[in-house]
Amino acid sequence: MKKVMLICDGGCSGNGSESNLGGWGAVLVYGTHVKELYGGATSTTNNIMELTAAIEGLSALKSQDLEVAIFSDSAYVVNCFKQKWYVKWQLNGWINSKKEPVENQALWETLIALVQTFKQVTFYKIKGHLNVEKPADVRKWFEKFNKDNRLQYSLEDFLKIVEYNHLADALANKGIDENRVS
């Protein structure tokens, strides 16, 4: 089966304020092929941009006969799938554990539907903004990444994912910046 990596990130400048700018970035990697995607929005939130990055990345794939590994620094997105929050949300009529309506329901429904169209999609949490110039930090987060995700990636592969995560972050910032000037 063909394997694709999707590394995604979202951000929001002024998150929580009335006038804010958001951006999302996604990097698709298939073998030696790399595709960069990004966009932005106004009056949004960081979580909306994180969800949008995953949705846009998956939507860009032309085949569903794929094994997709999604790497994100968003616990909001990753934990939803790893801990299957969405199953309880659906069973409870989109009410969360706090007995409140699930935020961003339409985006969650879109992402869940997209995920279900592929042969296999697995979500992995990656440390955002990791400073690779600090070897002790790299080693710590590399070990945590493999332990938390039950993986045995090499340090070299981990560093490549970190590099793509930095690229996705830069793309999200590009989406924010383009909204700033328009």
Cα separation, 11 vs 22, in Å, equals: 6
Q: Edge-to-edge strands of the sheet including 66-72?
A: 33-42, 21-30, 2-13, 66-72, 120-125
Closest among 52, 51, 42 to 17, alpha carbons compared? 42
pLDDT at 116: 96
Name the phi and psi angles at 11, rounded to 5: -155, 165
The tens place of each residue's pLDDT in the chain, 182 residues long, gives 799 999 999 999 877 677 789 999 999 999 999 999 999 999 899 999 999 999 999 999 999 999 999 999 999 999 999 999 999 999 999 999 999 999 999 999 999 999 999 999 999 999 888 777 787 888 888 888 888 877 788 888 888 988 999 999 999 999 999 988 65
Six-digit token string for 71: 């790497």
pLDDT at 170: 93
pLDDT at 98: 93
pLDDT at 140: 87
Whole-prediction pTM: 0.92
Q: Does domain 2-181 have CATH number 3.90.25.10?
A: no
Q: Which H or E run includes 48?
A: helix 46-59
